[in-house]
Structure formats: C-alpha cells, structure tokens
Chains A and B, each alone.
Chain A
C-alpha cells in the first residue's frame, strides 16, 4: 500500500522549454502533496506544499512563477518548470500524505537535465 508514482523518471530538454512532472498517489487519496529538490549528495530541500484544491505554499526563495504547482485532485499533483534553464537541472521528488499525522510516501523522483 501507499504507492506514489512519479513521471517521467528522466527528462532532457532544451533551455527555454517548459517541463511538466506528474505525481500520483495510486492506492490512497492524498490531501497533501510535497515537492522537493535534491542536489547531488545533499538532503532534500522542500520547494512547496500543495493541498488539494488550494494554492500551493512555497518555501522561501522558491520562485512560484518558475515552478508552477497544481493539485487538482486527491490523487494528482503536477510541477511545471517554466522556461527551464541549465541551473534548473536537478533531481525532483514528490511525496504524498493521506492525512495530517500520517507519514509522507515518496515517488521515485525525476532527473531533469536542461541543455
């Protein structure tokens, strides 16, 4: 149980394009989803918290116009990296949580490479 699917697992695209990453909870309804960024050999850095039907809450320093988050249903959240540039290259991981005091379950992550 508690499976989170993240797609795509790896994407390479040209500078200036927009990239959409999907995060789905497969066997539970996720009231809250989270998006993280992870640099090599570092811990996870929370980018934003997304509650179904509400606007995402972004962490300090994260550009909301650059990283668009949509949480339209209880099983799907998307992260769109707009006008991506090489500095946006990173590993992005989503997680989903069924209820407030339940643990977060993570997707497999997306490796984003911007050329």
Chain B
C-alpha cells in the first residue's frame, strides 16, 4: 500500500528566511503525481505545487519549489523568503496515474516568526 510520511510535525522559521518541509513516500509504481497542499487557519485546502514523477525537472511556483528525488522517494518543499501568510498546515499527497484517490501525509505545522 502506498504511504506518505511527513516526519516533522512542526517547523518554525523567521520571516524572510527559507524553510524546507520533508516528505517521503512508499510506492512500487513508476508513474504518479505528488502534491503539496496548504491549510491555513481558515481550513481551506489550497494546492501549492504539483510534480509529475516522469518529469526530472523540479516544479516551481514563485517562492515555492520542490526537491524531487525519485530514487529516494523524497519530495521536499522549499519556501523561500517566508511570509507571515505562509503560516499553515502543509500536507504532502500522492496519487498514482489513473488512481482515484489521494494519499495524504500527517501534515507539518509551519509557524512564521516575525
């Protein structure tokens, strides 16, 4: 069964600095998708970034980028120039190509210190 593990329940960073959130996953599939979702205190789930496993190039969305290491089954999220609005729960998620459902990690609570 596929699993997603976020080993950092909580992280904190100073405003304007860079922080990296870890995510590892377990799968025997070769084609799949990885996602990072953000859940602020409002509890809305917001898609931050998406990575297709067949792409070697790491996905980037403005201040958010990923380090995708397929062989190591690692998918970390780097947030540059952290802002107060980045404070949220961050969930890593996975689904195989053709699969119906997402598998979520346990989440990492990110605090931004002013």
Contacts and interface: CB of A to CB of B under 8 A. Distances in A.
Is A bound to B?
Answer: yes
- SS class, residues of chain B in contact with chain A: loop
A70 B91 CA distance: 27
Interface in A45-93: 46, 49, 57, 91, 93
Interface string B84-103: 00000001000001101110
Contacts of A38: 43
A16 interface: no
Given A43-B107, A49-B101, A103 B47 contact: yes
Contact of B101 (A42, A46, A106, A108): A46
A34 B104 CA distance: 14
Q: How large is the interface on A (under 10, 10 to 19, 20 to 34, 35 or more residues)?
A: 20 to 34
A44 interface: yes
* Chain B CB within 10 A, most for which of A42, A104, A109: A104
Interface of B: 33, 35, 37, 42-47, 50, 91, 97-98, 100-102, 104-107
Interface of A: 32, 34, 38, 42-44, 46, 49, 57, 91, 93, 95, 100-101, 103-109
